[in-house]
């Protein structure tokens, strides 16, 4: 794909709609919801701007680095049938790279330098007119890299691996290296309005930490402040994308010894930190992954619906579903041991401190299915998501476990597309999707 490429969005919408019409899932309701969701994102959140593609998160006009990756990732499953989708995803990556280069500490951006912000009442944080919000989340920097890796590995498409791409990788790696020693970083975040989870303690620096080799993160994928500074699933995502990019550098003959040396060292240090500090042994001798640690002996045993999460470890690619520590972790977080696992008369699953108690997220329900090859479980998760949409034909953010008519966010594109990802996984496990 050359610079200033032309992406025909109208043509793509028609092609995706025609493809979706051929799909049959577990029942009529699930099939109808899939057909709506797979078109919804490309029709209502995508804006093509020459060779850049802006993806609105849904009911919020900004583009999140993380959300935008998961909003288009499922399209890779049908990109061999609809090759133009590869160009669309390349355009998303181009836009993400521009945003990262503008500010590697920001998580969400405006379409233009409009000066719009999530909340204009900041106490000490200066942000540019292009930035919607400047919460440092390590998964946000990983997200464009994950999308780039999957585009290549799933389809063989490599035109996005330009000099600009590798220069951005260099910037991301340098940012991660700096935040391995957050005590020397200039970054801080304070907000003088909203809940406590919307700002960092200790004058915006976050809680005290010790060196682990992992990378510090101010915020979780939920955009809530980390309790402890080392967010383990995000660090797993760092290891995964860096190791895959190192392999791609060899295959594509990218000769940059300085960058590859930095990447190797970072991946090894983060992996060692996860294994040393991120694995906790419980009183019964069972070993599991912690959600967050501080390197000083404190750890947080929980999981949140937002991805990356502990539940999503195999989906991210750090381990597979049979890994013993992951199996133990999965058992813990899908039980009442996890303070954000809720059970009711209609739903059971993982929610988030970002939404009310007893609200389960369809993203987490879908991720239960995406991290198993058990067709019965996959089928059950597809069905329960489609049956609890309150007749809106949309996936919501969180749903009351006892009353599906109570939910947060009428329209949530990331959730819609994770449902579609699960649908493609279902077809693949059944042998109906190559």
pLDDT in tens, 250-295: 999 999 999 999 999 999 999 999 999 999 999 999 999 999 999 9
Query: What's the pLDDT band for 2 if we cut at 50, 70, 90?
Result: very low
Residue 34 falls within a domain, yes or no?
yes
Query: What's the pLDDT band for 200 if we cut at 50, 70, 90?
Result: very high
Q: Do residues 95 and 242 share a domain?
A: yes
Is pLDDT of 4 > 60?
Answer: no
Is pLDDT of 60 > 90?
Answer: no
Residue 386 falls within a domain, yes or no?
yes
Residue 9 falls within a domain, yes or no?
no
**What's the domain count of the chain?**
2
Is pLDDT of 182 > 80?
Answer: yes
Domain boundary pick from 306, 336, 366: 336
Region 383-396 average pLDDT: 97
Domain limits at 239?
61-336
Is pLDDT of 121 > 70?
Answer: no
Domain boundary pick from 336, 357, 376: 336
Q: Do residues 37 and 100 share a domain?
A: no
Region 220-233 average pLDDT: 97
Region 308-337 average pLDDT: 98
CB 315 within 8 A of CB 270: no
Region 381-410 average pLDDT: 97
What are the tens digits of pLDDT across the range 393-407? 999 999 999 999 999
Q: Do residues 202 and 106 share a domain?
A: yes
Q: Do residues 356 and 264 share a domain?
A: no
**What's the chain's average pLDDT?**
95
| pLDDT of 5 | 65
Q: Do residues 256 and 399 share a domain?
A: no
Q: Do residues 324 and 350 share a domain?
A: no
Region 52-78 average pLDDT: 96
Query: What's the pLDDT band for 120 if we cut at 50, 70, 90?
Result: low
Of all residues in the chain, the percent with pLDDT exceeding 70 is 97
Q: What is the C-alpha separation between 399 and 391, in angstroms, rounded?
A: 13
Residue 222 falls within a domain, yes or no?
yes
Q: Do residues 35 and 143 share a domain?
A: no
Is pLDDT of 122 > 60?
Answer: no
Residue 8 falls within a domain, yes or no?
no
Query: What's the pLDDT band for 124 if we cut at 50, 70, 90?
Result: low
CATH of the domain at 140: 1.50.10.10
Residue 304 falls within a domain, yes or no?
yes
Q: Do residues 176 and 259 share a domain?
A: yes
Q: What is the C-alpha separation between 258 and 173, in angstroms, rounded?
A: 11
Q: Do residues 318 and 345 share a domain?
A: no
Residue 195 falls within a domain, yes or no?
yes
Query: What's the pLDDT band for 6 if we cut at 50, 70, 90?
Result: confident
Query: Which tops the pLDDT comparison, 434 or 403?
Result: 403
| pLDDT of 266 | 98
Domain boundary pick from 288, 305, 336: 336
| pLDDT of 3 | 47
Is pLDDT of 95 > 90?
Answer: yes
Q: Do residues 363 and 379 share a domain?
A: yes
Q: Do residues 131 and 272 share a domain?
A: yes
Q: Do residues 317 and 346 share a domain?
A: no
| pLDDT of 420 | 98
Residue 6 falls within a domain, yes or no?
no
Is pLDDT of 374 > 50?
Answer: yes
């Amino acid at each position: 794909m050359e610079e200033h490429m032309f992406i025909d969005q109208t043509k793509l919408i028609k092609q995706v709609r025609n493809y979706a019409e051929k799909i049959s899932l577990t029942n009529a309701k699930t099939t109808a919801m899939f057909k709506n969701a797979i078109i919804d994102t490309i029709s209502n959140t995508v804006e093509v701007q020459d060779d850049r593609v802006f993806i609105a998160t849904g009911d919020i006009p900004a583009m999140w680095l993380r959300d935008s990756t998961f909003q288009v990732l499922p399209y890779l499953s049908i990109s061999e049938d609809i090759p133009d989708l590869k160009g669309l995803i390349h355009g998303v990556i181009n836009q993400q790279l521009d945003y990262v280069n503008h500010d590697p500490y920001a998580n969400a951006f405006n379409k233009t330098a409009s000066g719009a912000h999530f909340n204009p009442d900041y106490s000490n944080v200066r942000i540019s007119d292009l930035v919607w919000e400047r919460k440092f989340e390590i998964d946000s920097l990983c997200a464009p890299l994950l999308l780039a890796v999957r585009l290549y590995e799933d389809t063989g498409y490599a035109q996005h691996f330009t000099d600009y791409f590798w220069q951005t990788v260099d910037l991301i790696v340098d940012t991660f290296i700096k935040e391995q020693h957050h005590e020397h970083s200039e970054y801080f975040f304070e907000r003088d309005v909203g809940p406590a989870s919307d700002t960092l303690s200790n004058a915006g620096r976050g809680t005290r930490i010790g060196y682990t080799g992992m990378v510090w993160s101010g915020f979780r994928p939920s955009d809530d402040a980390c309790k402890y500074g080392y967010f383990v699933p995000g660090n797993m995502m760092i290891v995964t994308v860096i190791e895959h990019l190192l392999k791609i550098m060899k295959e594509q003959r990218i000769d940059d010894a300085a960058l590859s040396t930095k990447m190797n060292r970072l991946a090894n240090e983060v992996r060692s930190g996860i294994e040393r500090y991120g694995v906790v042994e419980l009183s019964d001798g069972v070993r599991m992954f912690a959600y967050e640690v501080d390197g000083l002996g404190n750890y947080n045993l929980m999981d949140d619906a937002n991805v990356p999460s502990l539940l999503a470890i195999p989906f991210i690619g750090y381990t597979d579903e049979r890994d013993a520590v992951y199996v133990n972790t999965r058992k813990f977080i899908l039980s009442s041991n996890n303070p954000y696992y809720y059970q009711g008369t209609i739903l059971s699953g993982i929610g988030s401190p970002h939404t009310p108690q007893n609200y389960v997220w369809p993203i987490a329900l879908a991720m239960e299915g995406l991290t198993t090859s058990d067709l019965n479980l996959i089928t059950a998760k597809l069905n329960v998501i489609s049956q609890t949409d309150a007749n809106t034909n949309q996936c919501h953010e969180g749903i009351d476990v006892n009353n599906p008519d109570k939910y947060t966010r009428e329209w949530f594109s990331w959730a819609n597309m994770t449902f579609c990802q699960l649908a493609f996984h279902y077809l693949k496990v059944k042998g109906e999707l190559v």
